[in-house]
A and B are shown apart, each in its own frame.
Chain A
Amino acid sequence: MHDMTAATIGEAVRARDPREETRSFDAARCRAAAKQIRQYTLQMSLVAGPHGAHAGGAMSMVEILSVLYLEVLRYDVKNPTWELRDRFILSKGHGAPSLYAALCLAGFLEEKELLTFKANETRLYGHPSIDLSMGVEFSSGSLGQGLSLGVGTALALRLRNNDTSRVFALLGDGECNEGSVWEAAMSASHFGLTNLVAIIDRNGMQYDGFTAPVMNTGDLAAKWQSFGWTVREVDGHDVTAVHDALTTPIAGQAGPLAIVAHTIRGKGVSFMENARVWHHSRLTQAMYDQAMAEQEASTDESGGSKGP
């Protein structure tokens, strides 16, 4: 378990029958995948060079992605438009680097393609671009729009009597400044969309700094609840807690589910954690070396702590 490589994780994921109804949760493998995603994200940030990368926001959502792509989402890499697949929407599109890393582990992308991140005319640019063959359901980058796409998708699935597929939208907490998020939230609850899950990566930061002094979102859990959502709050870096929140049935569920995941922006890299500039900044070779050394030394299986 401790020597899980990207290859073995990927194999295990791809060997899984996407049609199986129940799976046993493998927390250690999720944590190993999270660590791999962190390292891929650092590699991509390095190759981006002077263009810089949104590394901070990519790092805070790593455990969420590892749980989703290893344990929760139904998908079939050999049949990416499989009707019964779950749909994942990265509304906070700038988190693209760690999404690409997760898609690599899932088998949608080759490891070597990750190194084309931000190259001219690459498929893997700073925001995800709609490409079902790659596992990307929608383009994003203009914040506040992903949840509406989720509402529409969820409605369409229901109209087609697809009771199997679920829709997952991952938002940022700064992104919740956008009014369009709340239009979508109101409508999701109004339409009783039990097949829609919003995950809010609550890392407490946005471009100009911490959310509280910039535009205080206050008690986000209470806000989602008041909009008619079932709300679960978790430590967003605890794969077991995230998994439980995503999979535990809701008694008498009549509407959508919101998971407020408390996270640290830049998690896993000491100089990125809670640092304002790491919404988007340039990762130099020296910084990369330091970050990777921290990952190697980390006693946290997810690569989440700052090391000994």
Chain B
Amino acid sequence: MIAYTRASTRSWSMLGSSGSFGLAAMELPELSSNVAILTADLSFFSGLDRFRAKYPERLINVGIAEQNMLGVAAGMAKEGHKVFATTYATFASARTCDQVRVNMGYMQFDIKLVGLAAGLSVGILGPTHMSIEDIAVMRAIPNITVVSPADCTATVKATLAAAAHKGPMYLRLSGVQNNPTVYSADFDFIIGKAIKLREGDDIAIIATGTMVYAALEAAKLLAERQITCSVVDMHTIKPLDEAAVKETLGARLLVTIEEHSVHGGLGGAVAECLALTPRKPPHLVLGMTDTFHHPADYHFLLEKNGLTPKQLAASIATAYDEVKAA
């Protein structure tokens, strides 16, 4: 049984999202007798060494062969196994895209595809390891639920929720070790239901993944300027919580923030949701710029993309001034 104490949520934050996933995975065989976790030669990176030690027959390592991993996952899922397939987010969405499309989208096999080190977290290894477009890819394939937890506590909750959920899912894990904590205690994590974390009337911010914490910090900075912001954790990007999106219509400015391209991710999903709505606030889409950046460490890259709380607050304030002046 997992205890959601300050100490445990703090230890998960220090571990990072991959390690937190590995910890949550330890609970899965208790919940489901036929769980199998697949890795493509990344079991140690994915925090799965404890799982492997305790449940060796349930961890299947296909070696460096992501496309094969998806096919193997599909075959096992069809035979009734509850399958988690894990790899870097870049390879999950790009390398295995056809197999994801056919097996998860089209045949709807119950595979939970876990994309590790999403966004910029291993950006030091270069563009081949920066997942810029994975949400856009997954979102565009029918029948796949797309979940992006805000912190390591949410990663644990999302992993358990994924196990209970019926249907193919892409679980996008982001951030690095010492991942800032949004949830320091237990909370209700319901797939498809956004969580409002802060009230405010002037600006509505909808964020996902690591940018939820950044959004909360940006909101504090904006409050110092007497600008009030609401912040919503949109952990499920597909199906989008449209009711939560529509609650933002009263704001003067709507902002979406994601550690993902500005094209096709959370921003795109929200914009599509509101496309037919006649009266809505202008929408500022903040995320990773449409380019392959030079490799650098995580925090450097966040700054390069304008995604630190200070930079976010500045971008939002500028947009807000323009809205008020218009």
Contacts and interface: CB of A to CB of B under 8 A. Distances in A.
Chain A directly contacts chain B within the complex, with at least one CB pair under 8 Å: yes
Interface of A: 51, 93, 118, 120-122, 125-127, 129, 139-144, 174-175, 177-179, 206-208, 211, 214-215, 276
Nearest to B62: A215
Task: Give the residue among A118, A144, A208 with the most B Cβ atoms within 10 A.
Answer: A208
Contacts of A214: 41, 61, 63
Nearest to A180: B67
Interface in B168-205: none
A24 B44 CA distance: 46
A44 to B, nearest CB: 14
Contacts of A206: 41, 63-64
Contact of B295 (A121, A144, A207): A121
Interface stretch (B13-21, B119-127, B272-280, B306-314): B119-127
Contact of A207 (B45, B90, B91, B297): B45
B43 interface: yes
B48 to A, nearest CB: 9
A36 B124 CA distance: 26
A126 B122 CA distance: 10
Contact of A178 (B44, B65, B128, B297): B65
Contact of B62 (A139, A141, A142, A177): A177
24 contacts: A121-B294, A121-B296, A122-B295, A125-B125, A125-B126, A125-B295, A127-B129, A129-B126, A139-B127, A139-B128, A141-B126, A141-B128, A174-B41, A175-B64, A178-B65, A179-B65, A207-B42, A207-B44, A207-B64, A208-B44, A208-B61, A214-B41, A215-B62, A215-B64
Contact of A208 (B43, B128, B297): B43
Given A121-B294, A127-B126, A208-B39, A142 B65 contact: no
Nearest to B128: A141
Contacts of B4: none
Contacts of B300: 120-121
B312 to A, nearest CB: 21
Contacts of B91: 142
Given A177-B41, A208-B39, A208-B44, A126 B295 contact: yes
A184 to B, nearest CB: 14
A244 to B, nearest CB: 30
B126 A126 contact: yes
B95 interface: yes
Contacts of B45: 207
A142 B64 contact: no
A215 B41 contact: yes
A127 B65 contact: no
A174 B65 CA distance: 10
A263 B68 CA distance: 27
Nearest to B46: A208
Nearest to B300: A120
Contacts of B63: 174, 177, 206, 211, 214-215
B178 to A, nearest CB: 12
A118 B26 CA distance: 35
Interface string B38-78: 01011111000000000000000111110110000000000
B88 to A, nearest CB: 9
A276 B43 CA distance: 12
Interface in B196-224: none
A127 B64 contact: no
A178 B126 contact: no
A125 B128 CA distance: 12
A120 B297 contact: yes
A135 B39 CA distance: 35
A61 B91 CA distance: 25
A126 B294 contact: no
Contacts of B128: 93, 127, 139-142
Contacts of B90: 142
A121 B300 CA distance: 9
A215 B126 contact: no
Given A142-B90, A142-B95, A215 B61 contact: yes
A179 B68 contact: yes
A170 B294 CA distance: 24
Contacts of A141: 125-129
A308 B65 CA distance: 41
A215 B44 contact: no
B65 to A, nearest CB: 5
Contacts of A121: 294-296, 300
A208 B95 CA distance: 20
Contacts of B65: 177-179, 215
Ordered nearest first, which 6 A-B pairs have the shortest CB separation?
A215-B63, A141-B128, A177-B63, A120-B296, A125-B295, A177-B64
Nearest to A52: B124
